[in-house]
Amino acid sequence: MNTQPSALANSAGPVSGDSAAAKSRVLQIDRSCRLPLMFLIACSLVWLVAGGFLSLISSIKLHAPGFLSQSSWLTYGRVYPAAMNALWYGFAFQGAMAVALWLMCRLGRAELMGGKGILLGAFFWNVAVKLGVLGILAGASTGHSMLEMPGYVSPLLFVSYCLMGVWALVTFHFRQERQLYVSQWYLVGALFCFPWIFTAAQLLLVFHPVRGTLQAVVSGWYGHALITLWAVPIGLAVLFYFIPKLFGRQLHSRHLAAFGFWTLAAFGGWGGMHAGAPVPRWISSVSIAGGMMMILPLIAVALNWHLTARGAKGPENNQVFRFVQFGAIAFFAASLLDIGGSFRVIGEVTDLTVFTTGVKALYLYGFFGMTIAGAIYYLAPKITGCDWPSDQLAKLHYLGSVVGILVLVLGLVAGGILQGVRINNPEIPFVEAIRSTIPFLGLSTLGGLLLLAANLAFLVNVIRLLALCCCTNCFASNRSPAGSGPAAAGANL
């Protein structure tokens, strides 16, 4: 292995050599991540379960409108955005940050810097999300999709994001391995894009609002870019790391990867307005064109993975591989549905229906959630130095997730198409058109329930891992060098 060029070692992940020195170096890097990353992961999963619970309530309300309708705090129009904000800002952001920081360390062969700063940022991020979600439930929502958290929360969100993100960039800057791997491009891009789109949208919607339908243009653009320029690149960074690694192959083509990266960067931000919206028509047309162009990065990425894995057999009975594989397939499926929905003729049916909710759920749970979970299954034992306490829970997590996501997405996508077709047929009274989707909405509730159970299993497993880690490390050997990882990394500055 030592004779291979660094690019291969790099593309295959953390394998820098079999020598004892190299191994202890990797160990050192992993241990430097322990405290901040485990905090981020634990918080992220608590939000995943909390958000899943809220989302389940809102899903039940769609077919049982009388359910919990007595309190204003639990009305559908508050619970649904609260769930989405908990899932995106609570779960997705913290999970992504943990995995991104670890990838930055491993790929750059550098210890994590600013562990305490990251902890502080993560703490305030959680405070902000909590305030935001409670604010939405209390009725203080801004009314802009994906930016519902009240205006007083957003500066805190921004500052705490920067507190975490800046250390990712510092770690990146002081990397030992100068050659960049594909994953690092995506991470740098995503880490930079979020503050841009977030501040632009907040300034133009909350602090200095633009007039009328321009608000819908801005929030549509934000919601679109949040997926294409933040969630997708982070997920792709993880997949580009694990796919070659798990197949034991070198990434097929760096040039193809570069093509995919730049086309995503170039076209990812052009979208967010559906056809027929009350805005100048060219905006919808540009959105449609931008949505269609997403086929380019999709083909480049999928082809690259296919050629990398061709003929090779993935590892058997490997928890990480299962999750990552599902994430990659879900990415492909979600992108295709998204691109399909951007065609005018399909959008006429699917726009303004639960089809779009289903596609977003597939991105969030199927692609992003599963990919991040796969990464966590790999990295958590490494950074804690303990094995997963329960294989059973891990299997339950996988099985529940797969079935849950399939049922949830199938219900919403099929129900959405039926909803669109029926609403577009004026012969059918509106109420009847909606009533006919109820079985599908019930299906999505069932999927949500399974998914919640699966995620609960994941959370329990992580908590048990943390307990195990504490017992073996903190109490047994209080002064071990591994235990002081983050502090040592901070001292390096």
Partner 1 sequence: MNRGPLIFLGVFVAMAFSWYGMIVSPQRQIGGQQQATVEPAGIRYPVPRPGLAQRGAEVYRANGCGYCHTQQVRPRGYGSDFERGWGLRMSVAQDFLFEQPAMLGQLRIGPDLANVGMRWNDPQWHYRHLYNPKSTVEKSTMPQFPFLFEMRVIQGDRSPEALDLTGELAPPKGYEVIPKQEARALAAYLISLQSPLSLFEAPIPAEPKKDAEPSTNTVAVSSRNSQMLGLGESLTQ
Residues 29-58 that bind partner 1 (CB under 8 A): none
Residue given tokens 């069932």 in the structure block: 446
What Cα–Cα distance (Å) separates residue 289 from each residue in 226, 232, 331?
18, 19, 20
Residue given tokens 């957003």 in the structure block: 154
Measure the CA–CA gap between 111 and 486, rounded to whole angstroms: 9
- Which residues have a Cβ under 8 Å from the Cβ of 483 and sit 6 or more positions away? 473, 474, 477
Shortest spacing between CB 142 and partner 1, in angstroms: 7
Segment interacting with partner 1, rule: CB under 8 A, options 320-328, 350-358, 387-395, 476-484: 350-358
Among 27, 170, 333, 434, binds partner 1 (CB under 8 A): 434
The angle at the Cα of 471, spanning 470 to 477, to the nearest 5 degrees, equals 90
Measure the CA–CA gap between 47 and 49, rounded to whole angstroms: 5
Tell me: does residue 193 bind partner 1 (CB under 8 A). yes
Helices (H), 362-429: 370-384, 391-423
Among 33, 46, 62, 246, binds partner 1 (CB under 8 A): 62
Residue window 285-324: x/- pattern of binding to partner 1, with contact defined by CB under 8 A:
-xx--x----------------------------------
End-to-end CA distance of the chain: 32
Tell me: does residue 266 bind partner 1 (CB under 8 A). yes
Among 2, 6, 19, 69, binds partner 1 (CB under 8 A): 69
Segment interacting with partner 1, rule: CB under 8 A, options 202-210, 391-399, 465-473, 476-484: 202-210
- Catalogue the long-range contacts made by 475-479 (C-beta closer than 8 Å, 24 or more residues apart): none
Segment interacting with partner 1, rule: CB under 8 A, options 75-83, 302-310, 316-324, 367-375: 75-83
Tell me: does residue 279 bind partner 1 (CB under 8 A). yes
The answer to whether the beta carbons of residues 91 and 43 sit under 8 Å apart is no
Tell me: does residue 478 bind partner 1 (CB under 8 A). no
Measure the CA–CA gap between 316 and 322, rounded to whole angstroms: 9
The answer to whether the beta carbons of residues 348 and 275 sit under 8 Å apart is yes
Shortest spacing between CB 24 and partner 1, in angstroms: 27
Shortest spacing between CB 141 and partner 1, in angstroms: 6
**Amino acid, single-letter form, for residue 320:** V
Helices 438-469 & 370-384 angle (0-180, nearest 10): 10
Segment interacting with partner 1, rule: CB under 8 A, options 197-205, 242-250, 363-371, 450-458: 197-205
Shortest spacing between CB 276 and partner 1, in angstroms: 4
Q: Which of residues 212-231 bind partner 1 (CB under 8 A)?
A: 212-218, 221, 225, 229
**Judging by beta carbons within 10 Å of its beta carbon (0-12, 13-18, 19+), is residue 284 exposed, middle or buried?**
buried
Among 99, 100, 204, 320, binds partner 1 (CB under 8 A): 204
Q: Tally the C-alpha atoms within 13 A of residue 181's C-alpha that lie toward its C-beta.
A: 32
Tell me: does residue 401 bind partner 1 (CB under 8 A). no
Segment interacting with partner 1, rule: CB under 8 A, options 44-52, 65-73, 92-100, 361-369: 65-73
Tell me: does residue 283 bind partner 1 (CB under 8 A). yes
* CB-nearer residue toward partner 1: 170 or 460: 170
The answer to whether the beta carbons of residues 257 and 251 sit under 8 Å apart is yes
Among 4, 28, 179, 484, binds partner 1 (CB under 8 A): 179
Residue window 354-383: x/- pattern of binding to partner 1, with contact defined by CB under 8 A:
x-xx--------------------------
Tell me: does residue 170 bind partner 1 (CB under 8 A). no
**Judging by beta carbons within 10 Å of its beta carbon (0-12, 13-18, 19+), is residue 482 exposed, middle or buried?**
middle
Tell me: does residue 488 bind partner 1 (CB under 8 A). no
Q: Tally the C-alpha atoms within 13 A of residue 484's C-alpha that lie toward its C-beta.
A: 9
Tell me: does residue 209 bind partner 1 (CB under 8 A). yes
Shortest spacing between CB 402 and partner 1, in angstroms: 27
Q: Which of residues 118-147 bind partner 1 (CB under 8 A)?
A: 139-145
Size of the site for partner 1 (CB under 8 A): 92
Shortest spacing between CB 56 and partner 1, in angstroms: 16
Segment interacting with partner 1, rule: CB under 8 A, options 87-95, 120-128, 264-272, 480-488: 264-272
Residue window 80-109: x/- pattern of binding to partner 1, with contact defined by CB under 8 A:
xx----------------------------
Greatest Cα pair distance in the chain: 75
Shortest spacing between CB 198 and partner 1, in angstroms: 12
**73 DSSP 8-state letter:** G
Helices (H), 277-343: 281-293, 295-309, 319-341
Measure the CA–CA gap between 140 and 154, rounded to whole angstroms: 13
Tell me: does residue 61 bind partner 1 (CB under 8 A). yes
The pair of three-digit structure tokens given for residue 10, joined into one six-digit string: 């790099």
Among 63, 245, 382, 397, binds partner 1 (CB under 8 A): 63
